[in-house]
Structure 1
C-alpha cells in the first residue's frame, strides 16, 4: 500500500469545498486546486498520526495567530485516511534564502513573526519541535522596490507538535531534524519549549549567512551515519559550550558522562566560540542577540515573548 492514496486528477470533497489534485510535492504532500482554481496544499497518509495531530493542533491554535499556516478544510470523501487542506504560500524560507540572502530588515521581519507564532504555542505548553527554514512559509510582496520581499510569514508543519508534558518530551524522544535540534534533543534528554528557541537561533544564524548554510552541518558524517548526531553535538559544544557547572543539577549520570566525554574530545584549544566571529560575518548587534539565545543549558535561554521585547527589534 502506498503511503498516500492520492493521485493526480482525483476529486476530493471536503466539509467546505471540492478540490482537484494537481501534482505531488513529496510523500504525503500534494498540490490541488479549489473551485475557483486557487492552489491549496493537501496532506494525506495511511497509518500515521502526523496528519491527525497537525489537524488537531491547527484547530486549537490557528485562530490565535496570523503567523500560523491555517487549516482550510478537512476531506470527507474519501473518508480514509485523514486528509487535510492547508493554505498555499509562494515559497518557504530555505528556498527564499537560496534565491537571495535575506537583508537585515527581512531577517527581523521574519524573526518577529516566527517568535509570535512560537509564543502562542509556548504559552500554552506546546513545543513545535521542527523549527527550520523550510517550515517557514512566505508570500512575496508584489512591489519589486519593497525593502522586505515578504508580505506574509507563517509557521507550518505541526505534525510533530506536542505538549511539553507529553511522553515524547518527558522521555527525551529524539524528534525533528538533527541539524536544527537542540543539545537536549540530540542527547535524548527531556525537552520542552526551550528546544524551539535553540532551533530558532540556529535558523537565525543560517538566514544571516544565507543560502542553505547550517553552522552545525557535519563535515565528516552523512545523515545515515551513526556519528551524524554526535558530530552535531560536538559542533554545538565547540561554538556555544561548555555546559555550565550547574547543568549537573538537572542531568542524569549518563548525560553527565556524555558531557565529560564532549569536554575531553573538545579541549579549550579546539573550541571555536561564536563570540569570536568577526563583524564582517555577523554584525555586533546580531551576534549579541544570538548569544542570548544559544545556551547549552536550556534554562538559560529566553522565552519567545522575552525575545520579542529585545532591543534587537528596535534597531535597523
Structure 2
C-alpha cells in the first residue's frame, strides 16, 4: 500500500512572500493550495518537493507573462529557503474543462477561447519554447464575465513542463504531457518541437466542439495506467487522421517505420473513421476544414500558431453554424 506523502502546508498556515503574506485555506490537490492575501483575495499556491517543475514554471512565467495577458501570471514567490520553491499564482474562477462540462461553448465562446490560447502559444513559440502537450481544457483557466460575455479572462497555465525545443528533452524525444492530448511523435518517443503544441491545440479544439469531458483519442479498451495506453491513443490518432504519407516514411527512423507498419495492421484502411467524414450534424464543415489543417500526423505539415491566427476560420460569419 502506497504511503501518503504529508502535505507541505497546513490549513491556516501563514507563508511569507516577497510582496505579502498568504494564509492557506484549502488544498486543491497534491502540490496546489488556495490561500488568501492581505486583501482577502484568493490566490493559488504551488510547491512540489524534490521536483524541478515549480522552479521551471516560475522561470518561464517570469520570461513570458509580460508579453501577453493570455498566460496565467505569477504574483509572488515565498522567500523561505528551507522549503521547496513555492510560487503564488493568480486565481481564476475555474478551468475551461469545468466550464465546458457545465455548459457547451457556443460559437462565439469557442473562437474567443481558441484565439487566446493560440496567442499564448504563439508567444512561447516565438522564443523557441514548447508547452509540451499539456494544452488541454483543464490547463486553461477562465474568469466568468457579465451579461452576454460568458468569459472575461482566458489564460493558459501550467508552464512547469515547458522547455526550449533545442533542449535535451526535446531532442531525445522524452515523453511529456498526457497521452490523450499528445502528438504522435511524442507517443512514439521521437524528437519534438513547437509543432507538438499545435496538435494538442487541435485535440483540445475538437473536445470543445463536442463539449463536456470528451476527448476523441481517449482509449475505450484500456485504463490510463495500462502499459499500452499510449499505443491505444496512437491507434485512435491513426484511425481518425491517418494514414502517414509516404514523405514521412522517407525521414522516419527504422523504429518509427516499424510502428507505422504495426498501425497499418492494427487499423486496416477499411476500419478507419477519418475525421473529415464526420457528419455536419456533429461538426460543421468550416470546423472540419480548420481541424484538418492542424491534425497532421507528419509534424512538418502542421501550421504555426501565427498562421492559424491568420486563418479564414476566424472570419466565418457567426450565423453560418446553428
TM-score by length of 1: 0.97
Alignment of 1:142-291 (within 5 A): 142-143=146-147, 146=148, 148-291=149-292
Hey, what's the Cα distance between the residues in 2 that align with 1:257 and 1:92? 39
Alignment of 1:48-87 (within 5 A): 48-77=51-80, 79-87=82-90
- 1:259 Cα shift? 0.5
Hey, what's the Cα distance between the residues in 1 that align with 2:174 and 2:118? 24
Q: Does 1:131 align with 2:132?
A: no
Hey, what's the Cα distance between the residues in 2 that align with 1:282 and 1:102? 13
Distance 1:157 1:49, change over 3 A: same
Hey, what's the Cα distance between the residues in 2 that align with 1:84 and 1:7? 16
Q: Which runs of 5+ in 2 are unaligned?
A: none
SS in 1 for 2:33: strand
Q: Does 1:8 align with 2:11?
A: yes
Query: 1:6–1:44: 8 Å Cα contact kept in structure 2?
Result: no
Query: 1:3–1:45: 8 Å Cα contact kept in structure 2?
Result: no
Query: 1:13–1:78: 8 Å Cα contact kept in structure 2?
Result: no
Which stretches of structure 1, 4 residues or more, deviate above 4 A after TM superposition? none
Hey, what's the Cα distance between the residues in 1 that align with 2:157 and 2:273? 33
Q: Which runs of 5+ in 1 are unaligned?
A: none
SS in 1 for 2:219: coil
Q: For the aligned residues, what is the CA RMSD?
A: 1.1
What's 2:103 paired with? 100
Hey, what's the Cα distance between the residues in 2 that align with 1:293 and 1:39? 37
Hey, what's the Cα distance between the residues in 1 that align with 2:135 and 2:251? 25
Query: 1:3–1:28: 8 Å Cα contact kept in structure 2?
Result: no
- 1:249 Cα shift? 3.1
Hey, what's the Cα distance between the residues in 2 that align with 1:200 and 1:3? 35
SS in 2 for 1:137: strand
Hey, what's the Cα distance between the residues in 2 that align with 1:78 and 1:261? 51
- 1:4 Cα shift? 4.4
Number of aligned residues: 313
CA deviations over 1:208-260 (Å, ceiling 9, x no partner): 00000000110000011112111110000010000110112331101110011
Hey, what's the Cα distance between the residues in 2 that align with 1:155 and 1:137? 6
